[in-house]
Structure 1
């Protein structure tokens, strides 16, 4: 039996995890990841890598819960293994507080993370402007290490990495039987989906090894995420802003607002700055589609539009995307195979 040829477009955390799930869960399947950029040059590389849930009012709670629960269980198993340091996974505790209590006083993910509880008065007093908050322990994937580990895991499953830019999905017709679209912001041009938009995020990476706990708040979109090798300070959430250059005014504002909550950051040493465009959609696109052109059909699975929830939902949506690939397999096996040479 010939192998089913699957192309996954995109090599960020969503693309690589989807490719791994497909390669490991579907027998007799060959998976190729095609991307213009691989780590360390992806948007995912800029992320702090923290499994912090981001509530989307437009997406059913049960789907968000399943995605986060599956992702947490996956990363938790790594954290409990001897591979954790090499993969860049660790436990991380901290505080998240608000100027006004959110509508979700008890968040849907409270029993998935560890040691969740509401902040007490003495904790709230520590942070200026805090009126309500919670503390919990979650997990963190150091982006560069984790993406490299996903690449190695894919290759162990006989997957392949291929550098290149796909301008039109039909370029892959005849070369692959199923295409999985994990292109993030690239999906706007690739599919014509105008529901996806960028939310610009600018961050600092600093050396401040004395910080051991995260601090996150909706006040000025501030967050402090200690990692294994650096601390990520942020940030900005600028909708429909396509700028990829460092904005000096944002740099100044980020450091100033982080110092309000962690004054010791005035002593930190700056390592680098970066800008990424979060590929945001009111409801992330996770569905199968059959394209048709000139009597030909192309089977496509879409998995993009995670916005700030890319790390928090990545494995859960990858598992669901792999299931969608399984669902279209019968159609692949009952149709004639075209080859690129016949195009």
Structure 2
């Protein structure tokens, strides 16, 4: 089939790649690409965060985990496998997504920082999104998939010359398809130079005031916030100072780390990921959006389902 994917974040690009691999004639159109996407701002630590429903998210996450682990062997893909810990101030059960990973252990008491009483430890993919988005674009180019920029007023305008459309516009679907169940969840982060860290740390004890340290190859991403309904893309200096202070308290090695930049992105929050086919007057649309804070974590798994839905079209 001739298929047009709308959206060039990680969900759109992985969907386009999987469709091309399945033999379809694919192109991509997006308002922004690369550094202009929400995906480029993501901490991109594999973790099923603020995405639902649990059973599907676990399945999609497991697939993506396996794919990303395989890509870690390709230096150009920007994927590292990093050990890390999620820390709790109260005893915690195993996470609902436990079946998505092959191993998950408990943090020994001696490895719990002051103030924490429990924790998980596991090794997961960490993705440098600047590298990975470029890698995906390269793979698409190699398979004959054209990617162009262009803003659509409606999905109807995407049907010219194609049989089906795949909608991967994230928060943009609020306007593009009038989905008012989408809610922006503001995330502010800091990028600092590497100081020799190899272990990620995560603290979600305050849901709106997260704490995470995610080491990549040359940089470390520090976060963060989860401010529901907040669409302000400006850097807030007081928030940045608070993030840096809390991260340094947990990881003293970060004290004095050179700050490279500050970023803000809006996660596409939704009560459930929308991954389904809609038959419109212009033709079939496969929707794939509303991944919350887990776009990278769900991307390759959701791309498999997108390809399956397209294969089932009449």
Give the TM-score taking structure 2 as reference length: 0.95
Shift of 1:111: 5.0
Secondary structure of the structure 1 residue equivalent to 2:276: strand
Secondary structure of the structure 2 residue equivalent to 1:307: coil
Mapped to 2, the partners of 1:101 and 1:187 lie a distance apart of 38
Does 2:34 match 1:30? no
Inter-CA distance 168–112: structure 2 relative to 1 (3 Å threshold): closer
Mapped to 2, the partners of 1:173 and 1:87 lie a distance apart of 32
Does 2:71 match 1:78? yes
Contact kept in structure 2, 1:224 and 1:232, CA below 8 Å: yes
Task: Tell me whether 198-207 or 150-159 shows the greater mean CA deviation.
Answer: 150-159
Does 2:98 match 1:110? yes
Give the TM-score taking structure 1 as reference length: 0.87
Shift of 1:232: 0.1
Mapped to 1, the partners of 2:101 and 2:219 lie a distance apart of 23
Secondary structure of the structure 2 residue equivalent to 1:194: coil
Moved beyond 4 Å, runs of 4+: none
2:203: which partner in 1?
Answer: 217
Q: How does 1:289-328 map to 2 (within 5 A)?
A: 289-292=278-281, 297-328=282-313
Shift of 1:32: 0.9
1:43: which partner in 2?
Answer: 38
CA offsets per residue over residues 177-212 of structure 1, 9 Å max, x none?
101000001000000000111000000000133211
Q: CA RMSD in A?
A: 1.5
Mapped to 2, the partners of 1:129 and 1:177 lie a distance apart of 57
Task: Tell me whether 189-198 or 263-272 shows the greater mean CA deviation.
Answer: 263-272
Contact kept in structure 2, 1:48 and 1:225, CA below 8 Å: yes
Shift of 1:117: 0.6
1:141: which partner in 2?
Answer: 127
Q: How does 1:120-131 map to 2 (within 5 A)?
A: 120-124=108-112, 126=113, 128-131=114-117
Task: Tell me whether 137-146 or 45-54 shows the greater mean CA deviation.
Answer: 45-54
> Which is greater in Rg?
1
Mapped to 1, the partners of 2:53 and 2:102 lie a distance apart of 24
CA offsets per residue over residues 195-230 of structure 1, 9 Å max, x none?
111000000000133211111011331000000120
Structure 2 unaligned segments of length 5 or more: list them. none
Contact kept in structure 2, 1:48 and 1:227, CA below 8 Å: no
Contact kept in structure 1, 2:170 and 2:268, CA below 8 Å: yes
1:339: which partner in 2?
Answer: none
CA offsets per residue over residues 85-129 of structure 1, 9 Å max, x none?
211111101110112234xx12244354354210111112x2x32
1:334: which partner in 2?
Answer: none
Structure 1 unaligned segments of length 5 or more: list them. 331-343
Q: How does 1:1-343 map to 2 (within 5 A)?
A: 4-25=1-22, 27=23, 29-54=24-49, 56=51, 59-61=53-55, 63-79=56-72, 81=73, 83=74, 85-102=75-92, 105-110=93-98, 112-113=100-101, 115-124=103-112, 126=113, 128-219=114-205, 220-292=209-281, 297-328=282-313, 330=314
Contact kept in structure 2, 1:185 and 1:196, CA below 8 Å: yes
Shift of 1:316: 0.2
